[in-house]
């Protein structure tokens, strides 16, 4: 009974997301903010997957975001590859980049996080110096738009919203499948004692590497989408720390140990910041965002989604 009710809620939410919101907002400014929030939500989801299942704290997801963006942009501009296939290849490019990070998988905690951050800086330097390929500091302009499919212009705000929404739905389903699989069970067991799981035959390094690859692919595809959405790319933007800070804040605020939490957190954090805090304090509005995060951590360390879910369950049981 509970599962059927939960399924009904998710179906209703998808109907609202795919049909009601585009009808209500159209190609408005708020729709563009929604697309930006979902981009952050996609990175937040990939970050949470690596942190929650892989047990690895990362400060370097901007590396995957930037590599995916550049690979997709260059394939469409210089090799004539279609935008949609190029976006997927951009994700593969991010996976290839993550292979260079395998030596640091044996590091733990903040040491792993700082090592991954160093890789992000290295990739930014490469993109800046390789001017013949990337355009260097001048960047790449006139990156091909998202195509028109079945009469729908995917480069419009509504079209872009539907593309990024679909990517997030697919990524969330993949996350769920991994979570419920034997690999997910082994990964969760590793959190209790990695040494103990290694004794019983679980290859912890291999499982961590797989989670790194999945997280890198997701982030790379999001980066590729963003490149074709804004049609411009330069190293300081592609590998900006923004693609680390905001997704981490969103994931923690929404509840990084849940699948929907990072996405909900991105929507709340970004939209509240842009639509309310920015108007209230045009300069320094990030201070209010920081205060909001601190309040959530103090009030509900597990995040917004677990807090709301717990209250709904408590009300249901009290009836």
pLDDT digits 0-9 by tens, 84-130: 999 999 999 999 999 988 888 878 778 888 888 899 999 999 999 99
Structural domain for 236, as ranges: 29-240
pLDDT for 158 equals: 95
For the ranges 70-79, 188-197, 200-209, 305-314, the lowest mean pLDDT is seen at 188-197
And the tokens for 270? 């970004």
CA distance 5 to 283: 44
Is residue 279 in a domain?
no
pLDDT above 80 (res 257): yes
Report yes or no on 278 lying in a domain.
Answer: no
The burial of 233, by beta-carbon neighbours within 10 Å (0-12 exposed, 13-18 middle, 19 or more buried), is given as buried
CB atoms within 10 A of CB 143: 20
Inside any domain, residue 8 = no
Cα separation, 194 vs 202, in Å, equals 9
What are the tens digits of pLDDT across the range 166-220?
A: 999 999 999 999 998 888 887 877 765 555 555 555 677 788 889 999 999 999 9
Count how many domains the chain has: 1
Q: Which residue has the tokens 């990337």?
A: 134
Q: Please state the rounded mean pLDDT for residues 271-294.
A: 79
In a domain, 264, yes or no: no
| 98 assigned to some structural domain | yes
Question: Is 49 in contact with 211 (CB distance < 8 Å)?
Answer: yes
Task: Report if residue 235 sits inside a domain.
Answer: yes
Position 203 scores a pLDDT of 73
Lowest mean pLDDT among 27-36, 81-90, 280-289: 280-289
Model confidence at 266: pLDDT above 90: yes
308 part of a folded domain: no
pLDDT at 135 exceeding the cut of 70 = yes
What is the Cα–Cα distance from 301 to 295, expressed in whole angstroms? 9
- Tell me, yes or no, whether 3 lies in a domain: no
CA atoms within 13 A on the CB side of 297: 10
Structure token digits, residue 96: 């290839």
Euclidean distance between CA atoms 56 and 161, whole angstroms: 30
**Comparing C-alpha atoms, which of 16, 1, 5 is closest to residue 267?**
16
Largest CA distance in the chain: 67
318 half-sphere exposure, CB direction, 13 A CA radius: 6
């Amino acid at each position: 009974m509970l599962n059927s009710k939960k399924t009904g809620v998710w179906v209703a939410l998808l109907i609202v997301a795919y049909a009601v919101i585009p009808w209500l907002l159209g190609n408005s400014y708020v729709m563009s903010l929604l697309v930006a929030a979902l981009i952050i939500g996609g990175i937040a989801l990939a970050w949470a997957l690596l942190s929650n299942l892989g047990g690895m704290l990362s400060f370097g997801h901007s590396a995957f975001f930037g590599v995916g963006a550049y690979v997709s942009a260059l394939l469409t501009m210089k090799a004539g590859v279609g935008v949609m296939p190029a976006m997927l290849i951009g994700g593969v490019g991010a996976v290839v980049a993550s292979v260079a990070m395998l030596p640091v998988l044996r590091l733990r905690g903040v040491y792993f996080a700082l090592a991954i951050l160093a890789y992000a800086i290295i990739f930014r330097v490469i993109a800046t110096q390789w001017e013949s390929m990337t355009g260097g500091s001048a960047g790449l302009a006139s990156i091909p738009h998202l195509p028109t499919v079945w009469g729908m212009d995917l480069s419009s705000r509504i079209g872009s919203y539907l593309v990024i929404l679909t990517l997030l739905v697919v990524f969330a389903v993949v996350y769920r499948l991994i979570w419920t699989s034997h690999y997910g069970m082994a990964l969760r067991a590793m959190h209790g004692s990695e040494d103990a799981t290694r004794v019983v035959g679980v290859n912890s390094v291999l499982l961590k590497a797989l989670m790194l690859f999945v997280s890198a692919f997701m982030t790379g595809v999001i980066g590729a989408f963003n490149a074709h959405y804004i049609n411009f790319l330069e190293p300081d933007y592609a590998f900006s720390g923004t693609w680390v800070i905001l997704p981490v804040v969103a994931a923690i605020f929404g509840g990084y140990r849940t699948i929907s939490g990072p996405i909900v957190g991105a929507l709340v954090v970004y939209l509240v910041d842009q639509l309310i805090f920015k108007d209230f304090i045009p300069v320094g509005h990030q201070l209010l965002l920081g205060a909001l995060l601190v309040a959530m951590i103090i009030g509900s360390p597990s995040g917004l989604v677990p807090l709301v879910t717990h209250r709904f369950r408590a009300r249901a049981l009290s009836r």
